[in-house]
Amino acid sequence: MTVTKQVEIIIDGRKIRVPQGTTILKAAAMLEIRIPTLCHHEELSPSGSCRLCIVEISNPSQNPDRSWIDSACVCPASEGLNIKTHSPRVLKERKLIIELLLSRAPDSQQIMKLALENGITKPRFTAADEGKSNCILCGLCMRVCNELIKAEAIGFSGRGIKKEVVSPFKIAGDLCIGCKACEAVCPTGVINFKIENKKLRKQDWGVALEMIFCPDCGQPVGTSVQMEQLKEKITITDELLSCCPACRRKKNYSVRTVLHRTAKGLSDVSDYNRLTSKETG
Amino acid sequence: MKLTGNEQLVSVRTHLTEKKSTLRTVSLCGGTGCRASESEKLLVLLRKTVTEKNIDITIKETGCHGLCENGPLMVIRPENIFYQRIQPSDIDEIVEKSLKNGEVIERLLYEDPETGRKLIKENDIPFYEKQQRLVFAQNGHIDPKSIEDYIITGGYSALTRVLSDLSPEEVIGEVEKSGLRGRGGGGFPTGKKWKSCRIAPGSSKYVVCNADEGDPGAYMDRSLLEGNPHSVIEGMLIGAFAIGAREGRIYVRAEYPLAVENIIKAIADARKWGLLGEKILGSELSFDIEVTKGGGAFVCGESTALMQSLQGYSGEPRTKHIHTTESGLYNLPTNLNNVETWANIPIIINRGAAWFNKIGTPGSKGTKIFSLVGKVRNTGLIEVPMGMSLREIVFDIGGGIPGGREFKAIQTGGPSGGCIPGQYLDRSVDFDELTSLGSMMGSGGLIVMDEDTCMVEVARFYLSFLVEESCGKCTPCREGLWQLLSILTRITEGKGKEEDLAALEEIGEMVKDSSLCALGKTAPNPVLSTLRYFKDEYMEHIVDKKCSPGVCRSLFQYKIDNEKCTGCMLCQVKCPYQAIEGRKKEVHTIDTAKCVKCGICFEVCRFDAVKKV
């Protein structure tokens, strides 16, 4: 077994030893230094796209006069790095990035909160789409769909300011299983599935999936495709599976894990646990 | 014929050279510039006429000769007669007089604008005189579709030298010693890159050629692939040997159909001759190249985006904390160099690093190919030693500014380069020098601007290109550039405010600092460099609501000069909006309410009576 080399870095004046390659974001978390992020999720591949987590980095042993900006979520720790998470340069640029994000998603609670925290009281910019999409193109929805759910139902189309998250050709929603993981991870809360006429719908992606309703109480349980996928993975009777979590419990069946899976709509227990622990943590 | 050893290649070369040296040739430029002036028609006509008149001469369609401004171009050898701006009607005379009897047709020669002297030979023309053509040396001589032509000029001799005399480490040492830096824009030392790819662990390795030349107006790489594709293949072969790669890729944009055609033909020929494939020339080297056509996104010239695209994903860059030399294409060690870099390799091996190292400046060695375009007399492709001053390039090679106008700025480094003003014309062309001036070498675009250019509009134009080409992955580049463009558009429309300048600088610096890839990190250059050197012009737009060069339509009006107008009615007839009134032989007036400022009256007036005020 290879032993990962330990490196010493300094974050905001505090020394820490971490395995080489640990991201600066992770190392900062160990020191309980909070660096804001939007496109980052512990269980998904790093993207480095929102740039909110930018930090100022220098390597005094190599060149004391040079410092540069990089995003903490993707930048690996290497020996001797000196990192400032709240230097004037970082704060100035981060504030500007938040202003730009606000122009993209003016209705997002989370971004409004960030803006207020950073002293932005009045929006200065108007985005190309005037903020109608409310999407900051962080790609979390796409990454959770591809990497954890493995449905690969959505992706980016277009580039630059015309980029958007869509289902194939904006019409083929049939890869979607209706798990709503994308809705759960979306930082701007712009992904909304609706139940209409007994179907789970997201019109702009062409999604219309048949819903299963609890035979006992009538509550929605999940989409039928998702139920089919779950049946392949766990041992459960059709009768119990079609019940909502509450009614299943009433049926005196100890299936806590199953409840979680179906309620949240994830394909694997560990996926669910990881996601929820991140959300609450 | 499949060559199985070095000696065989040498004897084939000797044989071909003996056979061809006695023949006279006529080289007609078939580069993209000359093709645009219908050189293909000339070729058909020339072939037909030569056959009809039964003249013993080899006709070659070559790659770009460089002086695209004066195309179509032709050179008759061995006399070295250089003809320009040839029309189909000239062919008969050329064949009869020059090809048959060796006479010179004066009318088709280049005329020195200074002295008015007619120059016969290509090398006597000032445009070529100051150039040092190494990489482009064979471009106007060889038929790019003929592997024999390349072999005659010493082609693949660098490969044989490498295979018989050098170890991979020695090859890398030679490239390192040469001081060659990547010609694609970054200027990273090539030998260093090769070394890190050689030592990177991996079950397999790739060498990749970046032919995704995306700068508007630049066509250096295109012309190399079109005109001398085997030099790129030979460079990649030597790279593969040095790095230990078995597979190569050429990523070329689909908009370069002739480059695609010629490189595919060259690869097929190289395979037939045993110069690509298993056990090349009987050695242990096995290597082959695949061509991938790109969709033409500017960002795909960025190494990680290019590799994404090669793998079939959309071209989005990733952060480069792990270099592509360690984990690139399919997560394997990948060495990416641009077309011109690869084409430099055989030259370095043939002539030696010490020789190559003498050309250029301390930090930038060798020559560089530029596409010299814009407001300059001799537009075209030039190859000059590094360190030549911008003045020599613009005035000696480029022939200065046409129409008696004044030089204003030179834009270097493509859309994300900067604009350099006249006071720095004596600075030299060198990676570090251009960067210190707030611009960059880039892949070698040079756009000359004269006094009629509005620098705010120039910045706006480049930003509109970059907004279009930003992949949209990271916030600073996607949103920041859009805001820069919005502000610049506002200024050019006369709606600018003084605080806009501070905002341009603030956003520009942030985008430069915190964007994910090199596209974003350099994209604010057009704004920041024009702000640095032409702030007065911004202020004029914002405060005085004026655009002196008369480019920004919202900031001037067309007016007819009463003194000069003769009442010829030409402008009135040509105006598509019936905005001009006035009877024959009476002074005309422009109805500003109807005028859309299309500028047609300004262009057609023969008496200089239409003014921009």
User: What integer pLDDT is reported at residue A252 of this predicted model?
Assistant: 53
A69 touches chain B (CB under 8 A): yes
Cα B533 to Cα A225, B285, B397, B537, B551: the distances in Å are 62, 53, 25, 9, 19
Chain B's closest residue to A160, CA to CA, is B472
Of A39, A45, A87, A96, which to mutate for an interface test with B (greatest number of B Cβ within 10 Å)?
A: A96
> Do A147 and A175 fall within a single domain?
yes
How many Å separate Cα B433 from the centre of its chain? 20
The answer to whether A103 contacts B472, with C-beta atoms less than 8 Å apart, is no
A45 touches chain B (CB under 8 A): no
Question: Chain B contacts of A101, Cβ < 8 Å?
Answer: 475, 479
**In angstroms, what separates the C-alpha of B502 from chain A's closest C-alpha?**
13
Residues B531-564, buried b or exposed e (16+ Cβ, 10 A)?
bebbeebbebbbeeeebbbbbbbebbebebeeee
Nearest to B472 among A89, A92, A137 (CB): A137
> Do A211 and A256 fall within a single domain?
no
> Do A157 and A177 fall within a single domain?
yes
Of B309, B320, B482, B512, which to mutate for an interface test with A (greatest number of A Cβ within 10 Å)?
A: B482
Q: Out of 3.10.20.600, 3.30.70.260, 3.40.50.300, 3.30.1950.10, which CATH number does the structure's domain B361-450 have?
A: 3.10.20.600
The answer to whether A76 contacts B474, with C-beta atoms less than 8 Å apart, is no
ipTM over 0.95: no
Question: Chain A contacts of B513, Cβ < 8 Å?
Answer: 54, 68-69, 89, 93
A127 touches chain B (CB under 8 A): yes
Question: Chain B contacts of A50, Cβ < 8 Å?
Answer: 474-475
Q: Within 10 A of A118 (CB to CB), how many other CB atoms are there?
A: 16
The answer to whether B470 contacts A159, with C-beta atoms less than 8 Å apart, is yes
Nearest to A69 among B478, B506, B513 (CB): B513
The answer to whether A161 contacts B467, with C-beta atoms less than 8 Å apart, is yes
Whether B492 and A113 have beta carbons less than 8 Å apart is answered as no
Question: 3-state SS of B82-133?
Answer: EECCCCHHHHHHHHHHHHHHCCCCHHHCEECCCCCCEECEHHHCHHHHCCCC
Domain boundaries, chain B: 25-77+81-120, 147-357, 361-450, 455-544, 557-612
Which stretches of chain B drop beneath a pLDDT of 50?
Answer: none
| β-bridge partners, B605 | none
CATH superfamily of B147-357: NADH-ubiquinone oxidoreductase 51kDa subunit (3.40.50.11540)
> Do A254 and A237 fall within a single domain?
no
User: What integer pLDDT is reported at residue A279 of this predicted model?
Assistant: 40
Average pLDDT over residues A216-223: 90
B507 touches chain A (CB under 8 A): yes
Q: Out of 3.40.630.30, 3.50.30.60, 3.40.30.10, 3.40.470.10, which CATH number does the structure's domain B25-77+81-120 have?
A: 3.40.30.10
Average pLDDT over residues A87-111: 96
User: What integer pLDDT is reported at residue A251 of this predicted model?
Assistant: 74
| Class for the domain spanning B557-612 | alpha beta
User: What integer pLDDT is reported at residue A280 of this predicted model?
Assistant: 39
Q: Distance between CA atoms of B411 and B529, rounded to whole angstroms?
A: 10
Residue of A138, A50, A112 whose CA lies nearest to B516: A50
The answer to whether B479 contacts A125, with C-beta atoms less than 8 Å apart, is yes
> Do A236 and A252 fall within a single domain?
no
A277 pLDDT band, cuts 50/70/90, is very low
User: What integer pLDDT is reported at residue A103 of this predicted model?
Assistant: 96
> Do A183 and A251 fall within a single domain?
no
Chain B residues 275-314 with CB within 8 Å of chain A = 297, 299, 314
Residue of B133, B135, B27, B18 whose CA lies nearest to B78: B27
The answer to whether A51 contacts B515, with C-beta atoms less than 8 Å apart, is yes
> Do A219 and A254 fall within a single domain?
no
Residue A42 lies in a domain: yes
A161 touches chain B (CB under 8 A): yes
Q: Distance between CA atoms of A24 and A75, rounded to whole angstroms?
A: 6
Whether B209 and B234 have beta carbons less than 8 Å apart is answered as no
Residue A96 lies in a domain: no
Of B510, B511, B512, which to mutate for an interface test with A (greatest number of A Cβ within 10 Å)?
A: B510
Q: A24 is in which domain, residue-wise?
A: 6-89
> Do A255 and A234 fall within a single domain?
no
Q: Using DSSP bridges, classify how beta strands B58-62 and B25-29 pair: parallel, antiparallel or unpaired.
A: parallel
Q: Is the peptide bond before B476 cis (omega within 30 degrees of 0)?
A: no
Residue A191 lies in a domain: yes
Chain A residues 175-204 with CB within 8 Å of chain B = none
> Could you tell me which CATH number the domain at B455-544 has?
1.20.1440.230
Q: Distance between CA atoms of B181 and B384, rounded to whole angstroms?
A: 15
pLDDT > 70 fraction of chain B, expressed in percent and rounded: 100
Chain B's closest residue to A52, CA to CA, is B475
Residue A168 lies in a domain: yes
CA angle B9, B205, B219 (to 5 degrees): 70
- B437 Cβ neighbours under 8 A, 6+ residues apart: B418, B420, B424, B427, B529
Residue with tokens 């949240």: A264
Question: Chain A contacts of B471, Cβ < 8 Å?
Answer: 159-160, 163
B464 touches chain A (CB under 8 A): no
A137 touches chain B (CB under 8 A): yes
Report the CATH number at residue A12.
3.10.20.740
Nearest to B475 among A75, A97, A126 (CB): A97
Residue A18 lies in a domain: yes
Chain B's closest residue to A139, CA to CA, is B473
User: What integer pLDDT is reported at residue B613 of this predicted model?
Assistant: 86
Q: Distance between CA atoms of A234 and A49, rounded to whole angstroms?
A: 36
Question: Chain B contacts of A76, Cβ < 8 Å?
Answer: 321
Chain B's closest residue to A97, CA to CA, is B476
Nearest to A161 among B319, B474, B482 (CB): B482
Nearest to B506 among A68, A96, A126 (CB): A96
Question: Chain A contacts of B321, Cβ < 8 Å?
Answer: 74-76
Query: In this structure, what is the dihedral angle of CA atoms B584, B588, B592, B595, given to the nearest 10 degrees?
Result: 50
> Do A79 and A61 fall within a single domain?
yes
**In angstroms, what separates the C-alpha of A70 from chain B's closest C-alpha?**
6
A162 touches chain B (CB under 8 A): yes
Question: Chain A contacts of B478, Cβ < 8 Å?
Answer: 137, 160-161, 163
Residue A270 lies in a domain: yes
User: What integer pLDDT is reported at residue A250 of this predicted model?
Assistant: 77
> Do A261 and A220 fall within a single domain?
no
* 3-state DSSP helix/strand/coil % of chain A, to nearest 5: 35, 20, 45
pLDDT tens digits, one per residue of A206-218 = 999 999 999 989 9
> Do A186 and A263 fall within a single domain?
no
The separation between the first and the last C-alpha atoms of chain A, rounded to the nearest angstrom, is: 32
Nearest to B471 among A70, A136, A160 (CB): A160
The answer to whether A96 contacts B507, with C-beta atoms less than 8 Å apart, is yes
Q: How many domains does chain A have?
A: 3
> Do A201 and A221 fall within a single domain?
yes
User: What integer pLDDT is reported at residue B266 of this predicted model?
Assistant: 98
A2 pLDDT band, cuts 50/70/90, is low
Count interface pairs A-B at CB distance under 8 A.
96
Nearest to A160 among B314, B468, B514 (CB): B468
User: What integer pLDDT is reported at residue B123 of this predicted model?
Assistant: 85
Of B475, B486, B488, which to mutate for an interface test with A (greatest number of A Cβ within 10 Å)?
A: B475
User: What integer pLDDT is reported at residue B338 of this predicted model?
Assistant: 96
Residues B241-259, buried b or exposed e (16+ Cβ, 10 A)?
bbbbbebbbbbbbeebebb
Residue A149 lies in a domain: yes
Q: Distance between CA atoms of A178 and A174, rounded to whole angstroms?
A: 10
**In angstroms, what separates the C-alpha of A213 from chain B's closest C-alpha?**
39
Residue A98 lies in a domain: no
Whether A243 and A251 have beta carbons less than 8 Å apart is answered as yes
**In angstroms, what separates the C-alpha of B506 from chain A's closest C-alpha?**
9
